[in-house]
Chain A
């Protein structure tokens, strides 16, 4: 619930920013952006209302019968008209974030992209892959390094050797 509300509030902020900037543009350039800013603002407000409405109803149900199973929300009711019951059992809704895995992985991606211009693709890519495979416990260090070298070579063959992509290959100070 909170994630949807936070995204909706951020969307309203973006709409306000786009609207204020668009007001300085010529009419033909500002017409659709201003219209869309209103649409985003309105829809985001409706999502917030919907989320609060659902939360209120969930609370009411929980207070009335705490031992009973939670009632399906509006979407589940709508969906159930179309989808066989077996899917409802499969559909568990949005999964929670596993911070302990997602955060280091995301940090690794950011570090990888940051380092490419300085350290070069040929050095930083196998390091990123090997660290990912070894630290996660997927492979031991030696196989992880071998897999990393193989994958780097494959991407190099396809994108750089065959497609002539001008990416920084070696550390900048070597050039």
Chain B
């Protein structure tokens, strides 16, 4: 059965229509990635409504290739402008921009492109091998274990999110609470709808996504509109790297790709964490560490291989468990949900044909990425000159039309703007929005599995402690919540400081 799904997925991904949409997604991803201030998640959310009229596998092929291409596109701005196009490209600028400054912009971009290719291929292979294995394991899980997985997923994403873990957890809990709006799946009771018929089917996930990720970025761009737009460095040298250089950087790229896959597997961590880890490791393995930060090609290859490898890693929990590992994979999951494909272990069985097409698309999208990357890189200098206000108004128009397209309802547009305002306020208060999105996705799964579990346990909450898997998962979740509290840090911080006193003394003495 699984082998046939793999074959169906491969055949689906290779149809001319899907290849065409993969190329379109790649081109859009490169453009979005190259524009500073725009994230891959925002582009995915904005393009989600476009996939409604497409067959699910075609839409997913486009979104997957866009995601992958935006990861590479982020490095273009980092290298040419010293401003990362996406947060995942922040580490790339450390060595990429010094290379561009000394007239090696093309060489830096070529290294970035080939490393992204290595990262993308390794992540695709990892996804193709790990996800089905984990998927088989998950088929043994019942509602009790699924509830525990969902709880662990939201707590990990909340605590590992950028900034204060408490704020991350609060955002996640708020997302779950908002997911309760609408008809209760067990009793059919309309909950928290205030009598508004538009809310009976719940908060439309796609609408919330568009609002949370697009409007705050549009307002931020409008805020910077009057500021001076930086001029990108010129590309005067060749972009395609020479074979000896590619081979010399290959072990570094492969090691960084593995780091990216493993980092992506952990829910809540993303391309930015992976690229910094990979950069650190590349520096640690380097013979001459002093060259890092001054334009060492290894400092470009490592973060770029890692951030592209995260794509496959983050999709493993998304596909196998139905728990998105990042906000971008949550949008991809949203792409499945709009076609009636619900997250959970059935993704690899009941909807295996579509899911395996997505997996193959992640792997095959590397081909258009490499080819278009070679062609687009020189053209990207023009894209970066687009004024910020033009990008801001384009995002707003696309967000409004896109959110209207979901249900052909103006209420959704207002709801999207409400979420946009919420996202903007959250951003300025340092509260991450990604856990809220994950909460919105997982709310229904959590509700259904909780009620099913309690039915099995005849109302006894002890059912969650009877299963060993559930017990372990809930214990890890409790520990991750506990370590996020200020009291935990206060107690362990004091303990740590007490232990650190003699060391501090030694250091003082040294000086």
**Can you name 13 A-B pairs with beta carbons within 8 Å?**
A22-B191, A25-B187, A26-B184, A28-B451, A50-B164, A84-B279, A94-B427, A106-B219, A116-B400, A128-B396, A136-B226, A151-B397, A167-B408
Known: A11-B170, A110-B417. A75 touches B163 (CB 8 A): yes
* B492 CB to nearest A CB, Å: 11
* Inter-subunit contact B276/A18 (CB<8 Å): no
Q: Bits for A20-40, please: 1 = Cβ < 8 Å to B, else 0.
A: 011001101101110011011
Q: Is A166 an interface residue (CB 8 A)?
A: yes
* Inter-subunit contact A137/B486 (CB<8 Å): no
Known: A33-B191, A105-B219, A159-B401. A40 touches B174 (CB 8 A): yes
* Inter-subunit contact B389/A132 (CB<8 Å): yes
* Inter-subunit contact B276/A4 (CB<8 Å): no
Known: A47-B164, A136-B225. A7 touches B426 (CB 8 A): yes
* Inter-subunit contact B222/A102 (CB<8 Å): yes
Q: Is B107 an interface residue (CB 8 A)?
A: no
Residues of chain B in range 437-471 having any CB-CB distance to chain A below 8 Å: 446-447, 450-451, 454
Q: Which residues of B contact A47 (CB under 8 A)?
A: 164, 166-167, 170
* Inter-subunit contact A133/B187 (CB<8 Å): no
Which of A7, A31, A112 is B400 in contact with, Cβ under 8 Å? Answer: A112
Q: Bits for A47-87, please: 1 = Cβ < 8 Å to B, else 0.
A: 10110010000000000000000000011001000111011
Bound together, the chains give a CA A31 to CA B408 distance in angstroms of 33
Q: Which residues of B contact A133 (CB under 8 A)?
A: 387, 389-390, 393
Q: Is A158 an interface residue (CB 8 A)?
A: yes
Q: Which residues of A contact B394 (CB under 8 A)?
A: 129, 151
* A103 CB to nearest B CB, Å: 10
Known: A7-B425, A163-B53. A86 touches B94 (CB 8 A): yes
* Inter-subunit contact B430/A93 (CB<8 Å): yes
* Inter-subunit contact A102/B485 (CB<8 Å): no
* Inter-subunit contact B293/A166 (CB<8 Å): no
* Inter-subunit contact A18/B166 (CB<8 Å): no
* Inter-subunit contact A117/B397 (CB<8 Å): no
* Inter-subunit contact A53/B450 (CB<8 Å): no
Known: A47-B167, A151-B397. A18 touches B390 (CB 8 A): no
Q: Bits for A135-148, please: 1 = Cβ < 8 Å to B, else 0.
A: 01111000000010
Q: Which residue of B lies closest to A34 (CB)?
A: B180
Q: Which residue of A lies closest to B447 (CB)?
A: A32
Residues of chain B in range 404-427 having any CB-CB distance to chain A below 8 Å: 404-405, 408, 410, 413-414, 417, 421, 424-427
* A101 CB to nearest B CB, Å: 4
* A5 CB to nearest B CB, Å: 9
The 8 closest A-B pairs by CB, nearest first: A3-B429, A29-B184, A138-B389, A105-B222, A98-B223, A29-B189, A43-B170, A94-B430
For chain A, which range describes its interface: under 10, 10 to 19, 20 to 34, or 35 or more residues?
35 or more
Which of A37, A46, A105 is B485 in contact with, Cβ under 8 Å? Answer: A46
Count how many chain B residues have C-beta atoms less than 8 Å from C-beta atoms of the other chain: 77
* Inter-subunit contact A75/B427 (CB<8 Å): no
Residues of chain B in range 109-125 having any CB-CB distance to chain A below 8 Å: none
Bound together, the chains give a CA A115 to CA B225 distance in angstroms of 25
Q: Which residue of A lies closest to B489 (CB)?
A: A74
* Inter-subunit contact B428/A3 (CB<8 Å): yes
* Inter-subunit contact B177/A18 (CB<8 Å): yes
* B197 CB to nearest A CB, Å: 17
Q: Is B133 an interface residue (CB 8 A)?
A: no
Which of B170, B276, B397 is A129 in contact with, Cβ under 8 Å? Answer: B397
Which of A33, A151, A164 is B177 in contact with, Cβ under 8 Å? Answer: A33
Q: Which residue of B lies closest to A38 (CB)?
A: B173
Q: Which residue of A lies closest to B493 (CB)?
A: A74
* B24 CB to nearest A CB, Å: 11
Which of B173, B387, B401, B421 is A36 in contact with, Cβ under 8 Å? Answer: B173
Q: Which residue of A lies closest to B54 (CB)?
A: A163
Q: Which residues of B contact A128 (CB under 8 A)?
A: 393, 396-397
* Inter-subunit contact A167/B404 (CB<8 Å): yes
Q: Is B348 an interface residue (CB 8 A)?
A: no
Q: Is B431 an interface residue (CB 8 A)?
A: yes
Task: Tell me the dominant secondary structure on chain B's binding face.
Answer: helix
Bound together, the chains give a CA A151 to CA B447 distance in angstroms of 43
Q: Is B434 an interface residue (CB 8 A)?
A: no
Which of A74, A106, A113, A163 is B486 in contact with, Cβ under 8 Å? Answer: A74
The residue in B222, B277, B424 that gathers the most chain A C-beta atoms within 10 A of its C-beta is B222
Q: Is A90 an interface residue (CB 8 A)?
A: yes
* A74 CB to nearest B CB, Å: 6
Given contacts A11-B170, A98-B223, A165-B404, 14 further A-B contacts (CB under 8 A): A7-B425, A14-B177, A22-B191, A28-B451, A40-B170, A40-B174, A46-B485, A102-B223, A129-B393, A129-B397, A151-B393, A151-B394, A155-B397, A155-B398
* Inter-subunit contact B413/A28 (CB<8 Å): no
Bound together, the chains give a CA A138 to CA B401 distance in angstroms of 24
* Inter-subunit contact A18/B404 (CB<8 Å): no
Residues of chain A in range 119-175 having any CB-CB distance to chain B below 8 Å: 121, 125, 128-129, 132-133, 136-139, 147, 151-152, 155, 158-159, 162-167
* Inter-subunit contact A155/B401 (CB<8 Å): yes
Q: Which residues of A contact B50 (CB under 8 A)?
A: 158-159, 163
Which of A31, A113, A162, A163 is B414 in contact with, Cβ under 8 Å? Answer: A113
* B49 CB to nearest A CB, Å: 8
* B364 CB to nearest A CB, Å: 25
Q: Bits for B47-88, please: 1 = Cβ < 8 Å to A, else 0.
A: 001101100000000000000000000000000000000000
The residue in B225, B426, B446 that gathers the most chain A C-beta atoms within 10 A of its C-beta is B225
Q: Which residues of A contact B186 (CB under 8 A)?
A: 28-29
Q: Which residues of B contact A40 (CB under 8 A)?
A: 170, 173-174, 177
Bound together, the chains give a CA A97 to CA B184 distance in angstroms of 39
* A119 CB to nearest B CB, Å: 13
* Inter-subunit contact A113/B400 (CB<8 Å): yes
